[in-house]
């Protein structure tokens, strides 16, 4: 199987990392609810927090998903802060009300926030109490999406990690694929794995609570997202083994990811080729078209979703870009190592953030494309930089072969747009 | 604890950000966790500002909590002052920092900065965004305003315009022009566009124009008390209100003011015959208190609508809005729970909603046209074009805004005439809204889809629609069907009927004919 070769110049795995601690310009983990609640169709996410938390969810969602969404915020009020006992009573009452109104809900996540953590409202205890009360119809779990504990995509990690201890035990040798993917992408992945004769494949998160995801000592798991560090640890605690691989972005990443699984399950070369050759060729063609405007250009990543390292690998190796700085909120060697190995040496790898200093660096470097959060994109555009806002990368289907061209397109569109607009005043 | 899905207002520190972002030369040091930086996107994405809000967040993390979040705050404040060189800073806490009680005001004071430090005390667990803006602006004015002689020519300040305000940018421009026509200079407009040095000059004006009571009233009252500057009470949104506003300024300045109304088009547009169809359209009005009050008057006196519901989400305005509703023979809906608003709209089945972006969504769901008249609004309500709400041009803009979502006069007749036509069928909606036609399913909420007859519980009575009546009802165009159903049921109930037949429908129609 043709596993991508390490770059001759050496990768970035051992490159010195610029570690920064200062003002961060990132979302908190609550944001993950916006895509998780679409994925888990019988789950409700109840944030126990403040008006700020509710406002964040509403603003980050961009447009309001009307009808009643399957998330909400139980806003703490003065009285809840005064007495924790009362806060628990209040929470029970809100949950009772919610569950009686929404009989379709089978799993309820109590999501901790900064305020609930600072006042030490024990949501784990609350979840246990409420599980007993509402069993067997509803399972109640808890995790923290707070900004003092989690950065943006870490919310999904915390959510999946809290589900691992309650997954049923299995002795079967099964593949578990971990990470919330859009349905269309998930189906493509399952088709590819099935074509290699790998199955049954279990998914975390599953669409519904009573689907058959289980874990045990013979489980091997693959991650589809680079931000699932805690889930990785939780699965290892259950005896499962991680199939280490680059992440399935782009043709090369997808092939490497599938090849690692194929090797684990002893899939022969011919079968692998039969399953992947056609989509690989399509992906290459699509990338070639979409990356016409990317080739030879430079890119600078602000830390946001932990997707930065795998995406930098994709843009540099498959789209012909050079990376100037690749910032990630956290770097986790077991997860990011394989992508760092492939990322050609050269860029500054940075972890954490001091946003003002990073802005100084980006202004000095003047990259052709800056990947950053929503708060920074327009101000940087106004300074003449071309930007791609990073949140779209977690809201859009970008994994695996058939989306590889779209992924390159997400980056090339801002550059192309800048070249098509003719707005300068006549001289 | 209260379960909330969508909110009309953010937390109070977002109000403070609206003031800071509106101003120049002011910086806000906010003790807050990293996730709270989401608020930047309200300004950079929704309002499309091309600068970051002047806010430094301390972004403390869990590991800092045990040790020293106070030092973190002091470092952030010192760095921000060194980097941005503001003329003054405001300092405060978000909801989480309020709980750890670091006292940002005291900490910043202790730094011995050579610029004014204005501490904000915004109770996050009690108050909301508008309060935060109002209080912040008041504290800034109180700290920075300096006693000084009045300007030689008559001048006023414009108070209350902020960042992320609904059409504030254009209202300021429109009023500045209107006042210039009256021979009055604008001394300072604040917070929008003002520097701390400008705030110091506020007392030089002869009076204040309070544009938005929500965000400027405390400052206006304080300036009145401290510097004897009267402030205007009429908010000039609509034709009548603009004329009253000019009269009020005449009283304040003791001058006979003459204004050229040649740019004002609303009166003729609303009197011209095509507008006849607007008569008696039943509208529901919801938003912030100021805009709701202005639009209630416009709806009744300038558009000829029938106002069937009035309410606001900001409790600070509950009293005036209740009084206003009473004047309209209604009971005001004061709530920040959008589900309660949706329920009220569903019950009243208005023909049109004047509301915020929340009501726009409600309208979409119920198949009722909606015009946006108040914050909160989304990115499409920050138009590139000049589009004020205040003054004469504001009135023109509002006329267009209010008729845009409706089916036009002539078209309304055609729809009725060609009911069975495949292109004109009423589910197609207004012809000028290609992509946004209300879907037939949208009316499901109003229309029970039971096959032959619809059973509805009205109080203790059970009302049955007979098949022929139900069929007849379907022939009535969608934009008046809700009203026809309601009227018929009310009529049937008043007659003690339990069954509605085709005859009942037409008897009710005759009864309510106007
Ligand atoms: S950072 Fe904390 S307080 Fe702010 S929205 Fe996130 S969880 Fe809520």
Which parts of B328-374 are beta strand (E)? 333-334, 352-355, 370-372
Interface touch A51/B5, C-beta < 8 Å? no
* Residue B115: HSE in the Cβ half-sphere, 13 Å Cα cutoff: 22
User: Residues in chain A, how many?
Assistant: 427
How close is the Cα of A72 to the center of ligand 1, in Å? Answer: 14
Is B274 annotated as catalytic?
yes
CATH of the domain at A243: 3.40.50.1980
Contact by Cβ (8 Å): A344, A317: yes
Per residue of chain A (427 residues), what is the pLDDT tens digit?
Answer: 556 676 666 789 999 999 998 899 999 999 999 999 888 989 999 999 999 999 999 888 765 555 568 999 999 988 888 777 788 999 999 999 999 989 999 999 999 999 999 999 999 999 999 999 998 999 999 999 999 999 999 999 999 999 999 999 999 999 999 999 999 999 999 999 999 999 899 999 998 887 779 999 999 999 999 999 999 999 999 999 999 999 999 999 999 999 999 999 999 999 999 999 999 999 999 999 999 999 999 999 999 999 999 999 999 999 999 999 999 999 999 999 999 999 999 999 999 999 999 999 999 999 999 999 988 999 999 999 999 988 888 888 999 999 999 999 999 999 999 889 988 776 5
Give B482 or B288, the one with higher predicted confidence. B288
- ipTM of this predicted structure: 0.93
- Asked whether residue A331 is domain-assigned, the answer is yes
Residues with CB under 6 A from ligand 1: A 28, 30, 49-50, 52-53, 56, 113-114, 146-147; B 33, 35-36, 95-96
Confidence grade of residue B95 (pLDDT, cut at 50, 70, 90) = very high
In a domain, A169, yes or no: no
Q: Which residues of B touch A55 (CB under 8 A)?
A: 7, 10-11, 14, 38-39
Residue A5 lies in a domain: no
| Residue A335 located in a structural domain | yes
Q: Give the pLDDT confidence score for residue B431 in this predicted structure.
A: 57
Judgement on whether residues A126 and A193 belong to the same structural domain of the protein: no
What is each CA distance from B178 to B167, B263, B293, in whole angstroms?
16, 11, 22
- CA Rg, chain B, in Å? 26
Task: For ligand 1, atom 8, name the residue with the nearest CA.
Answer: A53
**Sign of CA pseudo-dihedral A352, A358, A361, A366:** positive
What pLDDT was estimated at residue A403? Answer: 95
Cα–Cα distance for residue pair A258/A222, rounded to 1 Å = 10
SS3 A146: coil
Triad A332, A335, A340: Cα angle to 5°? 85
From A247, A279, A311, the end of a domain falls on A279
Number of domains in chain A: 3
Instruction: Determine the distance separating the centroid of ligand 1 and the alpha carbon of A52, expressed in angstroms.
Output: 6
Mark yes or no for CB contact A379/B51 under 8 Å. Answer: yes
Q: Between chains, do B44 and A375 touch, taking CB under 8 Å as contact? A: yes
- Between the two ends of chain A, the Cα-to-Cα distance in Å is 58
Do residue A143 and residue A206 come from a single domain?
Answer: no
Please name the residue that has the structure tokens 């994405």.
B45
Co-location of A333 and A407 in the same domain? yes
Question: A295 with A392, same domain?
Answer: yes
Chain A residue with the nearest C-alpha to that of B57: A23
Check whether B114 has a pLDDT greater than 90.
yes
Which atom of ligand 1 is least distant from the CA of B38?
5
* Average pLDDT of every residue of chain B: 89
Does residue B412 have a pLDDT over 80? no
- A114/B33 touch (CB, cutoff 8 Å), yes or no: yes
Most confident of A10-19, B149-158, B448-457: B149-158
Distance of alpha carbon B45 from alpha carbon B491, whole angstroms = 50
The closest of A214, A308, A302 to A23, measured between CA atoms, is A302
pLDDT, residue B438, reads 45
Can you give the pLDDT at residue A169? Answer: 95
A284 and A191, same structural domain?
A: no
pLDDT at B469 over 90: no
Ligand 1: centre distance to CA A208 (Å): 28
**What integer pLDDT is reported at residue B498 of this predicted model?**
86
**Which residue, of A222, A245, A279, is where some domain finishes?**
A279
Q: Is B408's pLDDT higher than 70?
A: no
B479 compared with B234, residue with greater pLDDT: B234
Contact B321, B334 (CB under 8 A): yes
pLDDT recorded at residue B484: 80
Min Cα–Cα distance to chain A from B6, Å = 6
Which of B68, B121, B274, B448 is the catalytic position?
A: B274
- Going by CA atoms, what residue is nearest to atom 3 of ligand 1? A114
Whole-prediction pTM:
0.89
Q: Are residues A189 and A97 part of one domain?
A: no
Give the pLDDT of residue B436: 44
Token pair recorded at residue A246:
């680059």
Rounded distance between C-alpha atoms, residue B39 and residue B45, angstroms = 10
Starting at the edge strand found earlier in the chain, the sheet holding B117-119 runs B55-57, B26-31, B88-93, B117-119
* Single residue among A251, A279, A307 that ends a domain in this structure: A279
pLDDT in the model for residue A32:
94
Q: Which atom of ligand 1 is nearest to the CA of B36?
A: 4
pLDDT of residue B414: 56
- Tell me the HSE value of A135 on the side-chain side, using a 13 A CA sphere: 7
Quick one: three-class SS letters along A185-212?
HHHHHHHHHHHCCCCCEEEECCCCCCCC
Q: Is the pLDDT of residue B455 over 70?
A: no
The per-residue pLDDT for B452 is: 37
- Determine the residue among B66, B96, B122 to mutate to test chain A binding: the one whose Cβ has the most chain A Cβ atoms within 10 Å: B96
Supply the range of the domain harboring residue A103.
29-150
Whether A167 is covered by a domain: the verdict is: no
Flag whether A334 is in a domain: yes
Given an 8 Å threshold on Cβ–Cβ distance, is B34 in contact with A24?
yes
**Residues A324-334: tens digit of each pLDDT:** 999 999 999 99
Of residues B403 and B443, the one with the higher pLDDT is B403
**DSSP letters along A397-422, please?**
---SHHHHHHHHHHHHHHHHHHHH--
Partners of residue A68 in chain B, C-beta under 8 Å: 5
* Partners of residue A64 in chain B, C-beta under 8 Å: 6, 357-358, 361
Q: What is the pLDDT of residue B497?
A: 87
């Amino acid at each position: 199987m043709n596993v991508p070769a390490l770059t001759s110049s050496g990768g970035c795995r051992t490159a010195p990392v610029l570690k920064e601690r200062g003002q961060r310009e990132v979302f908190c983990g609550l944001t993950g609810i916006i895509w998780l609640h679409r994925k888990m169709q019988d789950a409700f996410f109840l944030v126990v927090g403040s008006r700020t938390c509710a406002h964040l969810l509403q603003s980050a969602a961009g447009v309001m998903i009307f009808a009643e969404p399957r998330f909400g915020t139980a806003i703490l009020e003065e009285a809840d802060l005064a007495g924790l006992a009362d806060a628990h009573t209040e929470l029970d009452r809100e949950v009772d009300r919610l569950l009686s109104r929404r009989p379709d809900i089978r799993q309820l996540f109590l999501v901790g926030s900064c305020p609930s953590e600072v006042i030490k409202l024990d949501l784990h205890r609350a979840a246990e109490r409420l599980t007993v009360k509402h069993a067997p119809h509803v399972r109640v779990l808890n995790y923290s999406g707070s900004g003092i504990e989690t950065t943006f995509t870490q919310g999904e990690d915390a959510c999946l990690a809290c589900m691992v201890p309650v997954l049923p035990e299995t002795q079967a040798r099964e593949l578990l694929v971990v990470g919330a993917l859009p349905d269309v992408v998930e189906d493509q992945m399952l088709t590819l794995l099935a074509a290699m004769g790998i199955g049954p494949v279990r998914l975390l998160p599953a669409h519904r609570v009573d689907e058959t995801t289980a874990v045990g000592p013979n489980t091997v798991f693959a991650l589809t997202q680079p931000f699932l560090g805690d889930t990785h640890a939780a699965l290892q605690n259950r005896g499962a083994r991680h199939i280490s691989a680059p992440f399935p972005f782009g043709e090369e990443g997808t092939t490497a990811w599938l090849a690692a699984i194929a090797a684990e399950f002893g899939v022969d070369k011919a079968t692998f080729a039969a399953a992947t050759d056609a989509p690989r060729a399509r992906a290459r063609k699509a990338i070639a078209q979409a990356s016409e405007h990317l080739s030879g250009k430079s890119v600078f990543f602000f830390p946001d979703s932990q997707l930065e390292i795998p995406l930098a690998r994709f843009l540099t190796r498959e789209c012909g870009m050079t990376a100037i700085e690749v910032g990630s909120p956290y770097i986790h060697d077991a997860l990011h190592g394989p992508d760092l190995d492939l990322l050609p040496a050269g860029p500054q790898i940075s972890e954490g953030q001091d946003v003002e200093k990073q802005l100084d660096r980006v202004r000095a470097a003047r990259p052709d494309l800056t990947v950053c959060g929503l708060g920074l994109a327009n101000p940087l555009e106004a300074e003449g930089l071309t930007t791609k806002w990073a949140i779209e990368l977690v809201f859009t289907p970008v994994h695996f072969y058939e989306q590889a061209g779209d992924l390159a397109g997400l980056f090339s569109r801002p550059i192309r747009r800048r070249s098509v607009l003719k707005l300068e005043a006549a001289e | 604890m209260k379960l909330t899905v969508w909110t009309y207002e953010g937390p109070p520190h977002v109000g403070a950000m609206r003031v800071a972002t509106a101003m120049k030369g002011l910086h806000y040091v906010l003790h807050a966790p990293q996730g709270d930086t989401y608020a930047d996107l309200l300004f950079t994405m929704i309002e499309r500002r091309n600068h970051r809000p002047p806010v430094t967040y301390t972004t403390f993390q869990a590991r800092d909590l045990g040790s020293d979040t106070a030092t973190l705050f002091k470092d952030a404040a010192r760095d921000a002052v060194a980097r941005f060189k503001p003329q003054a800073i405001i300092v405060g806490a978000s909801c989480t920092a309020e709980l750890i009680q670091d006292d940002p005001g005291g900490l910043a004071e202790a730094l011995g900065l050579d610029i004014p430090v204005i501490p904000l005390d915004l109770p996050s667990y009690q108050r909301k965004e508008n309060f935060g803006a109002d209080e912040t602006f008041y504290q800034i004015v109180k700290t920075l305003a300096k006693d000084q002689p009045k300007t030689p020519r008559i001048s006023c300040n414009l108070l209350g315009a902020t960042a992320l305000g609904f059409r504030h940018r254009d209202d300021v421009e429109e009023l500045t022009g209107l006042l210039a026509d009256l021979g009055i200079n604008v001394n300072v407009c604040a917070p929008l566009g003002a520097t701390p040095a400008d705030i110091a000059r506020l007392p030089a004006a002869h009076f204040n124009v309070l544009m938005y009571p929500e965000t400027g009233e405390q400052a206006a009252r304080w300036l009145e008390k401290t510097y004897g500057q009267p402030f205007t009470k009429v908010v000039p949104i609509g034709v009548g209100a603009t004329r009253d506003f000019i009269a009020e300024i005449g009283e304040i300045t003791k001058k006979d003011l003459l204004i050229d109304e040649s740019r004002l088009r609303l009166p003729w547009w609303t009197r011209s015959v095509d507008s006849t169809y607007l008569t008696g359209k039943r509208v529901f009005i919801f938003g912030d208190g100021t805009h709701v009050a202005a639009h209630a008057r416009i709806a009744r006196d300038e558009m000829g609508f029938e106002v069937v519901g009035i309410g606001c989400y900001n409790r600070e305005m509950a009293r005036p809005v209740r009084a206003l509703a009473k004047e309209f023979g209604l009971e005001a809906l004061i709530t920040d729970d959008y589900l309660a608003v949706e329920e009220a709209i569903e019950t009243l089945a208005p023909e049109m909603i004047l509301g915020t972006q929340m009501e726009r969504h409600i309208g979409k769901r119920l198949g009722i046209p909606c015009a946006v008249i108040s914050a909160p609004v989304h990115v499409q309500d920050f138009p590139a074009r000049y589009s004020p709400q205040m003054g004469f041009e504001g009135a023109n803009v509002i006329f267009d805004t209010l008729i845009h979502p409706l089916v036009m006069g002539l078209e309304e007749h055609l729809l009725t005439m060609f009911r069975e036509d495949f292109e004109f069928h009423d589910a197609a909606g207004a012809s000028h809204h290609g992509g946004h036609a209300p879907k037939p399913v949208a009316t499901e909420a109003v229309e029970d889809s039971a096959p032959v007859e619809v059973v509805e519980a009205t109080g203790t009575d059970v009302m049955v629609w007979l098949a022929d009546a139900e069929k007849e009802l379907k022939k009535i165009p969608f934009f008046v069907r809700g009203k026809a159903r309601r009227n018929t049921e009310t009529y049937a109930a008043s007659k003690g009927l339990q069954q509605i037949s085709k005859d009942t429908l037409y008897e009710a129609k005759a009864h309510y004919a106007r």
